[in-house]
Structure formats: structure tokens, C-alpha cells
Structure 1
Amino acid sequence: MFETATFDDPVVLEPAIRKRWASLETSSAAAVLRAVCPEEWRDITSVLAAFSLNPSLWLKKGGNRGDIAKQIDDSFAALGWRETRVDLITEGVLVSKKGLEMERLPAVRQEGYLVDNFKGRVALDVEWNAKDGNLDRDLSAYRAWHEAGVISAAVLITQDRVRLKTLAERLWADHLEKLSGTKRHTKLPIDLGTSTTTNLEKAALRVRRGVMGTCPLPIVAATEATWNGRPYSP
């Protein structure tokens, strides 16, 4: 696995977008997407540019994963991306020494999973606050699809849990102070302390083990810079 940083090139990704998202990539993924899948890359960068983290949705009890992920997924759906299941079918062919086909073996179908967004030759998942086991499923599927020639690259959108937890605690304290005049130490309305949910750190650990093979993969994660600057309001 080659960890690269082509998203730092202002020709590949606008600096204004780069500043608002934490990024990690393999195999020059951003540059590959821009060159090989220009329409899909324009979609991705336009969604990243337009999205801002709204505390009223983000910190809403019971709606954390659904509201944020749905907001991003809806933006891609408006651009023609679709939730799609990708199955792989493998067929064995016996060939003689002279190159003559002798026999076709029964085809084997490997059932995939519903990727959140698919367009052209790009698969994209929004893993906001799901169980981190989803990352194992996603990354292994991306690699298999790339090796089979089905996709040119995959994209993962997630959160920088550590940095966002600090922001959430500050916004929550400000909210409590506004209500009662004191920054009482009460629990956040959502759980941001668990380390078993999908986030940049968990994705990076897997990617750096080389699980992606040669599949280009940019991971972008929301940080405090993605926040819309507004206070929390229930």
C-alpha cells in the first residue's frame, strides 16, 4: 500500500475544500479520480464543498448516524449516484496447451453488499457512526471490485472522532451555560466516546495494514473545520 497526498495539489483539490476535511489516501487516489473519473470527482468535490456540519443535526439524540449520513447521501443522489449492490461472478475455463477451450466450469457468484453511492466506476460509502466492522466489509469489497476491474477507485467519507469530540463538548457546554448560566458537566446527548464506531482513526489503521492492495482510496473525514460555526440548538 502506498500512502500518498495528491489531494494537497491545488490542481487536484481546491485548497478551500482541503482545509475543511482531514484526508488520507492510497495510490494517488485523488489524482486518479480527477484524471480517470472526472465527472464523479466533480460530484465528490462539490458535495464536500457544500457540506457543513450542523450541530443541531449532529448532536441530536437518536439521529446522529442517520441524519448526517442521509444529508450527504441525498446530495450524491441529487447528482445521479445510487445505492447499489455489486456482485462478482467468477467463471473457470479449462484451456488446452494449444489454447483450445476444453471446458467451462460452473460460474460462482459472490454476493456483495449495498454500497451507499455508486456512479460510473466509483463506489462511495458514508460511514459516519456505524460499527467499525463495516470498515472491514467496505475495504475488502473495494479491493475485490478493483482487482476484478469493476471500479477505478473507491471513496470513504467519515468523521475525525477525536477532534469532533472536543468540538462537541465545547458546543454542549456553551448550550448548558446559555440555559442555566453555568457550564454543568453533563453527558453529551450522543455517545462520542466509543472507539468501536467508524472514524478516521479506525479506517487509517486498516488502510496502513495494506488491506487495500492497489485500489486507490481517498478517505475524507469531517473535523471542527467542517462545522458551520453555529451553536447547538435542540
Structure 2
Amino acid sequence: MFETRTYDDPIVLNPAIRSRWAFLETSSAAAVLRSVCPVEWADITAVLEAFALDPAHWLKKGGNRGDIAKVIDGLFAERGWRETRVDLVTQGVLLSRNLEVMERLPPVEQEGYLVDNFKGRVALDVEWNAKDGNLDRDLSAYRAWHEAGVISAAVLITQDRGRLKELAERLWSEHQATLPADQRNAKLPIDLNTSTTTNLEKAALRVRRGVMGTCPLLVVAATPETWNGQPYSVV
């Protein structure tokens, strides 16, 4: 396992962005992205700088493809990123001592999945409220694609659920206090106690088991500092 912290280098990542998001990386992912995929890295940092967590979109039902994921995906779409399916085809070739082709074995196809955002040699998924099993699919695919030379690095955008829970409860309590007394018993529209959805902690558990091999992976998680400072309101 190659866990690194190149995102702490102000040359690699603007400290203003660093202060608003939590990060986890393997194999110097942020530095690799900046050096090897500068156009894509500029897009990623621009989105992280522009996005702010809006309680009106955050504290509502919607699952993984809810408002938060749609907003982030939309920001990437504006910069030319596209939802893309990546399949791999591997073929063995038997050679003689003189390097003459003796036989071509039947190709083996590895079916992929639709990556939320793909551009150049970077795969990027937004896993906000998906089942945490999605992480196993994502991370194993990133490793396979990297080993096959398809991508240079991968990025996963999610949430620091533990740190956001306290903020969500406070915003909801403040909102409830503005309502008439007979309307103050409503529960938060989202489940803050579930242990089966994607988040920074779930991603870290998998990364620290060494599942990424040498694939550079950057995990970015929204924190209370990503919040736009606005109270909860119904949209």
C-alpha cells in the first residue's frame, strides 16, 4: 500500500482548496495528476474550488444520483468530461524462439461499468450516497485499468460522513426552530446513521488494505468546511 500526502504540497494543490476538503491518496496521486494530466488536474481543482455544499440539496432524499452528485457531474460536464464505459480486452499471443507468431489465443473480455466522468487518462466517480459495495467495484476497476495502461490515475469524490453528521443535525435543528410548534417533529430527510453508504471512512478502509496496488488514487471528501454557510431551506 502506497499512501502518500502530495496534496499537502502548496505547489501541487492550492491551500485554499486543501482547507475545504479532506483528502486521501495512494502513489502520489495528486502530484501524478498535476504532472502527467495537467489539463484534467486543472478541471478537478476548478470544480473543487467552485463547489460548495448547499444544505437545500444535501439534506434531501435522492440517493447516489441526488442533487449533490448531479451538481458535481454537471461541473465536470461543462469542462468536457463524459460518462464513459470502459471495457478491457486481453489476448494472449504464442511466439516461437524467433519471435514468430505461432498462435493467437481467443481474446478475454472484461466488462466494465459506466464511470461518472472520464477525460484523457483520468477516471472520476462521484459516490455520495451509494451502497458502499460500489467502492469495491470502483477501486478494483481503477487498478485493472491502470495496470492495463488505460488510465494514469483515478479520483473518487465522496463525503466525510462522520464530520458532516454534526453539521447536518445542527442545521436541521435550527430549521425546525423556525417552524410552528406543531411542525417541529419532522425527521431529517436523510439517514445520518446508516453504515452502508459510501464515504471517506469506507474508502480508507479499502485503500489501507492495499487494494489499489500501484494505481494512483485520489479520494476527495466534502467536510463542514465545504459548506456554503447557508441555513437549510426547502427548494
TM bucket (normalised to shorter chain) is over 0.9
Render the CA deviation track for 1:163-215: whole Å, top value 9, x for unaligned: 11111000000001111479967521111210100000000000000000000
RMSD value over aligned CA atoms? 1.6
**Shift in CA distance, 10/181, structure 1 to aligned 2, threshold 3 Å:** farther
Specify the alignment match of 2:74 in structure 1. Answer: 74
**Shift in CA distance, 98/58, structure 1 to aligned 2, threshold 3 Å:** same
**Shift in CA distance, 62/114, structure 1 to aligned 2, threshold 3 Å:** closer
Measure the CA separation in 2 of the matches of 1:63 and 1:233: 19
Mapped pair 1:205 → 2:202: no
Specify the alignment match of 1:45 in structure 2. Answer: 45
Specify the alignment match of 1:228 in structure 2. Answer: 228
3-state DSSP of counterpart to 1:219? strand
Unaligned runs of 5+ in 1: none
Measure the CA separation in 1 of the matches of 2:207 and 2:83: 24
More displaced 10-residue stretch of structure 1: 183-192 or 167-176? 183-192
3-state DSSP of counterpart to 2:89? strand
Mapped pair 1:132 → 2:151: no
Q: With structure 1 as the length reference, what TM-score do the two structures score?
A: 0.96
**Shift in CA distance, 141/206, structure 1 to aligned 2, threshold 3 Å:** same
Specify the alignment match of 2:90 in structure 1. Answer: 90
Measure the CA separation in 2 of the matches of 1:100 and 1:64: 51
Q: With structure 2 as the length reference, what TM-score do the two structures score?
A: 0.96
Cα deviation, residue 66, structure 1: 1.4
Residue pair 1:157, 1:219 contacting (<8 A) in 2 also: yes
Specify the alignment match of 2:151 in structure 1. Answer: 151
Specify the alignment match of 1:142 in structure 2. Answer: 142
3-state DSSP of counterpart to 1:179? coil
Residue pair 1:26, 1:217 contacting (<8 A) in 2 also: yes
3-state DSSP of counterpart to 2:7? helix
Unaligned runs of 5+ in 2: none
Specify the alignment match of 2:116 in structure 1. Answer: 116
Measure the CA separation in 2 of the matches of 1:108 and 1:75: 36
Quick one: which amino acid aligns to residue 154 of structure 2? A
Mapped pair 1:36 → 2:36: yes
Render the CA deviation track for 1:105-135: whole Å, top value 9, x for unaligned: 1111111000000000000000000000000
Render the CA deviation track for 1:122-167: whole Å, top value 9, x for unaligned: 0000000000000000000000000000000000000001111111
Cα deviation, residue 101, structure 1: 1.3
Cα deviation, residue 223, structure 1: 0.6
Measure the CA separation in 1 of the matches of 2:71 and 2:152: 25
